[in-house]
Structure 1
Amino acid sequence: MGQLDGKVAFITGAARGQGRCHAIELARSGASIIALDICSQIDTVAYRMSTPEDLDETVRLVEEVGGKIVASQADVRDRAQVETALARGVEVFGQPDIVLANAGISPQRASEPDPQAVFVDTIETNLIGVWNTVIAAAPAMIERGQGGSIVITSSAQGIIGRGGDGSGAATAYTASKHGVVGMMRSFSAWLAPHSIRVNTVNPTGVRTPMVENDAIAEWFAANPTVAATMGNPMPVFMVDPIDVTRAVLYLVGESGRYVTGVVLPVDAGFTSK
């Protein structure tokens, strides 16, 4: 018996990285998974984004641990696409008990051809995409009257502003990750009377393709002063996706049944230095 038996989890950005890890481990704990990912490239992002094959691999890995999953290609910037992807899963599993608004981009690079465009794309994905995800799911969660849990992926950069360099990407990333903390607090006040908890997880750098890529490495190389501020006080360069997933499992499970409105760092001390 898993702690999430009978639950349904709606996860964005599920094709790889943290989203894939969340999908696998929630499925291992008994949840049925409704997954979406853009599975295509955003022009202002220099690193390779997810592909349909990545999402297929998430499906395979969820099924390998005995889980059930409905996966769709959808862009969180487009509310209609989010609603369609959610509806596909609801037809099979019913309304979600858990929402993980995880999709995001971090398009820092050494040289920005169009800072305005990258700023807009980052805000639309990381901030408006979270709004689209929660607003697609929350009304039906309220109507069903059985409570639930929403976890938004913020960042250690959603607590501090270290690493700013005036670029469109770095500024927008920090602004978006602060923005979802404010959104979480507003949502938690709205949804608490319905026993729906809303929290953020705020990781330091995580070993995922969004962070481990040539574009980020070149950005650090071009900005050594910024790079020098980005280390963790604990002796670990980055955390692993499973470290964030374990925090998510705490929040969405019985262990977190009265935890709401919380900013939960998984940051190896990054925000304390």
Structure 2
Amino acid sequence: MAGRMEGKVVFITGAARGQGRSHALRLAEEGADIIAVDICEPIPGVTEYEGSTPDDLNETVKQVEALDRRIVAEQGDVRDPDRLKQVVDRGVAELGGRLDGIVANAGIDIFNHWHAFSQDDWQTTIDINLTGVWNTVRAAAPVMIDAGNGGSIVLISSANGIKPGPFNAPYNAAKFGVTALGKSFAQEMSRDGVRVNTIHPGPVDTHMAQGVDRIVELESENPGLLAMLNGFPRGDAEGISLMSPREISNAVLYLLSDESTWTTGLPMAVDGGMSAT
């Protein structure tokens, strides 16, 4: 039986590890070929977790190829639209001249009190998490539209793109912006047969989740704010439970597959109810 993504090509940002790698592998399992990009270096200001590396991206390549699928992987920064266009063009040329899906996944998170964020913290978060999504769609969607075959775009927002979380003001602002971009793109690209949806993960077991400890530390100076995370299944005494990245990848698969041909403009929460109240 053919896979649900058989014959399709998907462009994924932030693909070196974490959710991005998980998306690449889940889609490859269902027959997709992958165009992958990741900055593969530390981001100034992000101190809660280490940046991805070229070795991480090479591991994504190995795992996709082990599934007998093709992958074109390059280092690149979503803040650089020209570089994204180069990666997309090369990938499309090498993988059969088509592009069927886009997953704007790359992102960072920095936790602090609103008044303690530096101007650089704010700008870096907005540039990567919001403008980077804009750059991704601008670089890749025209290829999809020009082919005239429709397609599907998934923007990875956050539960914090529906309901703000504490100590995360720049991230909240960026992720709400991604939610709005998804709806705007969905409206305008519908005439081209291109679907655009956003996914809103809760805490996921990736490097970024290491910042959860920082939230607990910050709450000591502003007690009670973690109650805003009500609705999410709690773990043991060590804190909030984390979901597998594959939970998000399964949602990505649905939205990119032909099973979702009437689904567009949807903010899909995969967060255990974190954003429900």
CA contact (8 A) 1:201 1:266 kept: yes
- Runs (4 or more) in structure 1 with deviation over 4 Å come to 109-114
Name the SS of the counterpart of 2:207 in structure 1: coil
Name the SS of the counterpart of 1:210 in structure 2: helix
Compute the displacement of 1:65 (Å): 1.5
1:270 aligns with 2:255: no
Separation (CA, whole Å) in 2 of partners of 1:258 and 1:22: 22
Separation (CA, whole Å) in 2 of partners of 1:78 and 1:259: 30
CA contact (8 A) 1:44 1:118 kept: yes
* Alignment TM-score, normalising by the size of structure 2: 0.91
Identify the residue that residue 238 of structure 2 maps to in structure 1.
none
1:50–1:231 Cα change, 3 Å = farther
Separation (CA, whole Å) in 1 of partners of 2:229 and 2:58: 34
Separation (CA, whole Å) in 1 of partners of 2:61 and 2:25: 9
* Alignment TM-score, normalising by the size of structure 1: 0.93
Name the SS of the counterpart of 1:193 in structure 2: helix
User: Which amino acid in 2 is paired with 1:78?
Assistant: D
Separation (CA, whole Å) in 2 of partners of 1:56 and 1:231: 38
Q: Structure 1, residues 60-85: CA drift from partner, whole Å, max 9, x if none? A: 11111222101000000110111111
1:61 aligns with 2:63: yes
Compute the displacement of 1:126 (Å): 0.4
Identify the residue that residue 10 of structure 1 maps to in structure 2.
11
Identify the residue that residue 264 of structure 2 maps to in structure 1.
260
Q: Structure 1, residues 226-266: CA drift from partner, whole Å, max 9, x if none? A: 33433544355121101001111111112101100000000
Tell me the percent identity.
42
Identify the residue that residue 241 of structure 1 maps to in structure 2.
245
Compute the displacement of 1:95 (Å): 2.9
Separation (CA, whole Å) in 1 of partners of 2:218 and 2:175: 23
Identify the residue that residue 138 of structure 2 maps to in structure 1.
135
CA contact (8 A) 1:9 1:99 kept: yes
1:158 aligns with 2:161: yes
Separation (CA, whole Å) in 1 of partners of 2:17 and 2:172: 22
Identify the residue that residue 192 of structure 2 maps to in structure 1.
194
Separation (CA, whole Å) in 1 of partners of 2:244 and 2:230: 15
Flag structure 1 segments of 5+ consecutive residues without an equivalent: none
CA RMSD of aligned residues (A): 1.7
Name the SS of the counterpart of 2:153 in structure 1: strand
Q: Structure 1, residues 144-174: CA drift from partner, whole Å, max 9, x if none? A: 10000000000000001131x4xxxx11100
CA contact (8 A) 2:19 2:249 kept: yes
Flag structure 2 segments of 5+ consecutive residues without an equivalent: 236-240
